[in-house]
Every structure is written in C-alpha cells, then in structure tokens.
C-alpha cells in the first residue's frame, strides 16, 4: 500500500516519531474522546501531547473519489488548520497528515495536531444554562463567530462539540476542531445567520446570540433573531426527520 505524508516545517525533525505512532496506531497511544465514528488517540511528544485522528476507511464510492478527485479529510484538516492559523483564528496547531492508498482506492488517513487544553466546549453551554458567566461566554462566542464571518470563514460543522473554550479569567478564547468541512469566501447575511442553526435548541440562547450578532453586524435585532430561530427550527426538523427515517430502515 502506498503512503503519503506531509509534515509541518516546525515538526520535520520529529518525522521518525510521527511515522512510528502512525504505523503502530492500533497498539500505542491513549484513547481520547468519542470513538464511534473516527478514532482519536493521544501521544506524548517531548513536553507536549499530540492528538491523532484516524479517519475510518470511506465507502467504496468515496474511496474512488478521494483517490482521484477529492482531497482527503486528513489533508483538508491540515490545510484548513494552517489557513486558520494564518488568519489568527484559534485551532490546535497542525503537525502532519498521513494517507494510505492502493493503486485504485483510497484507504486510511490520519490528521495529527497538538492537543489543545480547554475548560469546556460550547456543548456545556447547551446542557447547563446556569453555567458561571454563561451569557458573557455566549456573547464572546458570538463575537468569535462574527470574526470568522468577517474573515470569510464558513465553518460548515459549527456545532456544539467543535469549539473548545478557554476561560482565562474572562478573556475567553475559542479554538475550532473537526476542520475538514470549511469554505473560504464572502458570506451573505442569510449564510451568516444559518451558520448558527446547529448550535442549540434553546430559544434563550438564540435570543442572546441574536442580540450580540445584531450589534456586531449593525442589523435590527428582530431581523437577526427571526431568521436565526427559523433556521434553528428548520435544522432540528431535518435532523429529527433523518433520525426517524433511520429508525424505520432498521426495522
């Protein structure tokens, strides 16, 4: 099986270490987080921890697509992380990506980044509405999202688990993870507001985010809120419709 790797210039000297953890991924490292869809492991590198994401082998159609027509999830994650760093947007530092292919099919890929310390993710804000300084964090997150939009970053997986948050005594800092689905282009008003639709089911949170985003963009609060709530409800309906369909297909 043919392999391909790209290592960030700051980690070229660690090439042997990186090769080893990829080749021995199944037997080394410490499991981290949810292992349902893709496998995540932590490894010690000098005084740092590195996070290795192993993407599962895609279906046969995508094995052909990733081999000949599309960039792999690992490659996109690496390239998008570097672009975010260049744009001064928080994300774990990219280290490398590895790909394994046969002559006609794409198989495994891995994305390696520094492990990012955090105090919580956005998800905790959706499950604990009484979290200390909840509204202040939510408003800061909304300003961060506005910053993404102003820098022409459309994070397609802007969902509860994909933003890490550091509290820093009120100097809130945000880091994006799961980067393989992004676009870099100017965003119109509707696309900006729709980008909030996957984040929460709570109307009270939508009200706060709408208020803060309206201030950032210089728009009427009701216009922002009505569209944000409409897009949130539409996403929830679509999400639950898909779940009901999956349930039916299982039986």
- Asked whether residue 61 is domain-assigned, the answer is yes
Residue 121 clears pLDDT 80, i.e. is over it: yes
Same domain, 16 and 124: no
Quickly tell me which residue has 């909030």 as its tokens. Answer: 196
Task: Please indicate, yes or no, whether residues 110 and 127 belong to a single structural domain of this protein.
Answer: no
Q: Kindly state whether residues 174 and 225 are assigned to the same domain.
A: yes
With contact defined as beta carbons under 8 Å apart, do 183 and 84 qualify? Answer: no
Last residue in a domain, options 82, 114, 146: 114
Determine the distance from the C-alpha atom of residue 177 to the mean position of all C-alpha atoms in its chain, rounded to a whole number.
Answer: 3
| 251: in domain | no
Are 27 and 139 within one domain?
no
> Among residues 114, 139, 164, which one ends one of the domains?
114
204 and 89 inside one domain:
no
Co-location of 95 and 143 in the same domain? no
Give the model confidence (pLDDT) of 12-35 as tens digits: 999 999 999 999 999 999 998 776
Same domain, 9 and 110: yes
What does the pLDDT read at residue 250? Answer: 65
Residue 76 and residue 147 share a domain = no
What tokens were used for 204?
Answer: 């009270």
Per-residue pLDDT for 251 more than 70? no
Q: What is the pLDDT of residues 139-198, one digit of tens each?
A: 999 999 999 999 999 999 999 999 999 999 999 999 999 999 999 999 999 999 999 999
* Per-residue pLDDT tens over the stretch 63-119: 999 999 999 999 999 999 999 999 999 999 999 999 999 999 999 999 999 999 999
Q: Model-level pTM?
A: 0.92
Residue 36 belongs to domain with CATH number: 3.30.200
Does residue 149 form part of some domain? yes
Here the tokens at position 122 are: 């956005």
**Which residues span the domain enclosing 129?**
120-246
pLDDT at 230 over 80: yes
Whether 104 maps to a domain, the answer reads yes
DSSP bridge pairs for 109: 55, 99
The pLDDT value recorded for residue 143 is: 98
Total domain count, the chain: 2
pLDDT at 2 over 60: yes
Residues 125, 110, single domain; the answer is no
- Domain C-terminal end among 114, 134, 163: 114
């Amino acid at each position: 099986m043919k392999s391909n790797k790209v290592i960030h210039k700051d980690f070229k000297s660690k090439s042997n270490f990186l090769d080893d953890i990829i080749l021995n991924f199944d037997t080394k490292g410490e499991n981290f987080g949810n292992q349902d869809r893709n496998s995540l492991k932590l490894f010690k590198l000098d005084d740092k921890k590195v996070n290795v994401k192993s993407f599962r082998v895609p279906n046969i159609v995508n094995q052909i697509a990733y081999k000949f027509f599309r960039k792999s999830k690992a490659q996109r994650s690496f390239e998008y992380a570097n672009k975010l760093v260049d744009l001064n947007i928080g994300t774990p530092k990219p280290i490398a990506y590895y790909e394994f292919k046969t002559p006609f099919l794409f198989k495994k890929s891995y994305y390696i980044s520094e492990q990012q310390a955090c105090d919580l993710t956005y998800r905790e804000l959706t499950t604990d509405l009484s979290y200390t300084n909840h509204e202040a964090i939510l408003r800061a997150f909304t300003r961060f999202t506005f910053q993404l939009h102003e820098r022409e970053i459309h994070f397609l997986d802007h969902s509860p688990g994909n933003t890490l948050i550091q509290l820093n005594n009120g100097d809130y800092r945000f880091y994006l993870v799961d980067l393989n689905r992004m676009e870099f282009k100017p965003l119109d008003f509707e696309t900006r507001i729709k980008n909030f639709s996957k984040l929460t089911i709570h109307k009270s949170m939508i009200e706060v985010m709408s208020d803060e985003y309206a201030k950032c963009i210089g728009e009427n609060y009701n216009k922002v809120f009505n569209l944000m709530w409409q897009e949130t409800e539409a996403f929830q309906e679509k999400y639950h419709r898909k779940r009901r369909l999956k349930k039916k297909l299982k039986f």
